[in-house]
Amino acid sequence: MDTKAMFKFSYGLFVLTAKENGFDNGCIINTAIQVTSSPNRISIAVNKANKTHDMIHATGEFNVCMLSENAPFSVFQNFGFQSGNTTDKFAAFNQKKRSANGIYYITDYANAYVSAKVVQEVDLGTHTMFIADVTDAEVLSDVASVTYNYYQANIKPKPQVTPAQAGKTKWVCKICGYVYEGEELPADFICPICKHGAQDFEKVAG
Ligand code: FE
């Protein structure tokens, strides 16, 4: 079996937002799809470690914002590389409005959003799949949607290799481009930029 086949799936990238007890939060997901058109129903799968997961579990409501190709890396940093448990991600993020359900959606860097109400939860171990009815939806721009491939090719910073690292074995984070120098990457290594683990690094020969 060649598990690299899994990388041939295409994905979009989305900011998933929720609100609970007056607190707004959001995270990046790549797992939003429409599952039926009648009723208009979507599914998302969210890692249980995300605060947004717990907020949706508690409230049963969320927005999915379709990121567009003009979204800068800072949007991915703000929503993807820090936790709502320690940060108010919306405090310094101004490209936002509230939809009819009272939850924020992203304005300038998203081309659409949908609001949804959970009708079913499926426990997947590390993740929960939420199946939800679309209750509202708006198109915001004609800019193309970001795919995971587009993010990798055009938004993620190119690895910054210092002169001292040239010719040495390095490990590059596939999520954010961070460069670790060393022959071996510790198995428990956590990327200081995006907080992803060693499994998301690839070895680059010197
Ligand atoms: Fe990283």
**59-118 pLDDT tens trace:** 999 999 999 999 999 999 999 999 999 999 999 999 999 999 999 999 999 999 999 999
166/188: higher pLDDT = 188
Residues in the chain: 206
Average pLDDT of the chain? 95
Contact 85, 51 (CB under 8 A): yes
Contacts 24+ apart (CB under 8 A), 140-145: 140/107, 140/110, 140/111, 140/112, 140/113, 141/68, 141/110, 141/111, 142/111, 143/68, 143/69, 143/70, 143/111, 144/68, 144/69, 144/111, 145/12, 145/66, 145/67, 145/68, 145/69, 145/111
Compute, in angstroms, the gap from residue 199 CA to the centroid of ligand 1.
11
Residue 180: predicted pLDDT: 94
Compute, in angstroms, the gap from residue 158 CA to the centroid of ligand 1.
12
Report the alpha-carbon angle 186-190-191, nearest 5: 115
Residue 7: predicted pLDDT: 85
Compute, in angstroms, the gap from residue 98 CA to the centroid of ligand 1.
30
Compute, in angstroms, the gap from residue 81 CA to the centroid of ligand 1.
8
Compute, in angstroms, the gap from residue 178 CA to the centroid of ligand 1.
5
Q: How far apart are CA 182 and CA 81, in angstroms?
A: 24
Compute, in angstroms, the gap from residue 64 CA to the centroid of ligand 1.
24
Each residue of 132-151: pLDDT tens digit? 999 999 999 999 999 999 99
Each residue of 20-34: pLDDT tens digit? 999 999 999 999 999
**CA quadruple 170, 159, 71, 105: dihedral, nearest 10:** 30
For ligand 1, a single-atom ion, the residues with CB < 5 A are: 173, 175-176, 178, 191, 193-194
Compute, in angstroms, the gap from residue 179 CA to the centroid of ligand 1.
8
Compute, in angstroms, the gap from residue 200 CA to the centroid of ligand 1.
8
Compute, in angstroms, the gap from residue 177 CA to the centroid of ligand 1.
6
Each residue of 101-136: pLDDT tens digit? 999 999 999 999 999 999 999 999 999 999 999 999
Q: How far apart are CA 15 and CA 37, in angstroms?
A: 22
Both tokens of 113, joined, read 């959003």
* Residue 206: pLDDT band with limits 50, 70, 90: confident
- For 183, residues 6+ apart whose C-beta sits below 8 A from its C-beta are 169
Full set of structural domains in the chain with CATH: 3-151 (2.30.110.10), 159-204 (2.20.28.10)
Question: Strands, E, within 2-93: which ranges?
Answer: 14-20, 23-29, 33-37, 40-47, 61-67
Rounded to two decimals, what is the model's pTM?
A: 0.92
